[in-house]
């Protein structure tokens, strides 16, 4: 078992800041529901304090994390060192979905670059930080960001994105409602 902490230390924050990708894990309470693991790229994560992070969530083909947070708030972020010294860092916490137009969105959105297709912010209260060795994680070289999602979002325009979210992001694959679905995207 790795080392556990009640909050992020400066070296944890530095490690997170060096990563180009992180993974989000969430699950419904139902044993028949699907566990979701989702990769996140771009400059979309902000450390707000030693016990709070937020990430700008982009329009995608699903919206599982949002549905799971609405049901039970549980969320885990995982960062892996693909370059440099081996390390894995996990942030365990509870999340809140912030939608455009809410006071919470308005307060946090200026912290992020204006990425086309932004649909919500996931605000996370971190209650446990865990590090582990990462000795088996391969070396991978970062060569740049994919801009496909940004180009697609621009092509869709606001009305196209709204329609897409209504069709694809209002419910999880298990049929659970998402905050976007309740908000009418």
Contact 159, 15 (CB under 8 A): no
pLDDT of residue 182: 78
Mean pLDDT over 54-72 rounds to 96
Q: pLDDT tens-digit profile of 126-179?
A: 999 999 999 999 999 999 999 999 999 999 999 999 999 999 999 999 999 999
Is residue 133 within 8 A of residue 86, CB to CB? The reply is: yes
- Taking residue 61's Cβ as centre, other Cβ atoms within 10 Å add up to 8
Q: Mean pLDDT in the chain?
A: 95
Query: Is residue 86 packed enough to be buried (19+ CB in 10 Å), middle (13-18) or exposed (0-12)?
Result: middle
Coil, strand or helix at 70: helix
pTM of structure: 0.95
Cα–Cα distance for residue pair 165/34, rounded to 1 Å: 20
- pLDDT above 60 for 185: no
Give the start-to-end residue ranges of the domains of the chain. 3-137+144-183
Average pLDDT on 50-65 reads 96
Strand 22-26 to 3-5 pairing? unpaired
- Kindly state which CATH superfamily the domain 3-137+144-183 is placed in: Electron Transport, Fmn-binding Protein; Chain A (2.30.110.10)
Name the percent of the chain lying above pLDDT 90.
95
- C-alpha–C-alpha distance, residues 160 and 163, integer Å: 5
- d(C-alpha 149, C-alpha 25), whole Å: 21
């Amino acid at each position: 078992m790795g080392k556990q902490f009640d909050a992020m230390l400066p070296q944890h924050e530095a490690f997170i800041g060096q990563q180009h990708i992180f993974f989000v894990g969430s699950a419904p309470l139902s044993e028949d529901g699907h566990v979701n693991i989702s990769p996140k790229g771009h400059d979309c994560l902000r450390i707000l304090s030693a016990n709070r992070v937020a990430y700008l969530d982009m329009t995608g083909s699903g919206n599982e994390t949002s549905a799971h947070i609405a049901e039970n708030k549980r969320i885990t972020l995982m960062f892996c060192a693909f370059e440099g010294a081996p390390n894995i860092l996990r942030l365990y916490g509870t999340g809140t979905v912030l939608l455009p137009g809410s006071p919470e969105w308005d307060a946090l959105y200026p912290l992020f670059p204006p990425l086309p297709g932004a649909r919500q912010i996931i605000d996370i209260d971190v209650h446990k930080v865990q590090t582990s060795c990462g000795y088996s994680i391969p070396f991978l070289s970062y060569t740049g960001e994919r801009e496909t999602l940004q180009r697609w979002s621009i092509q869709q325009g606001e009305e196209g994105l709204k329609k897409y979210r209504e069709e694809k992001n209002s419910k999880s694959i298990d049929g659970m409602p998402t905050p976007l679905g309740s908000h009418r995207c």
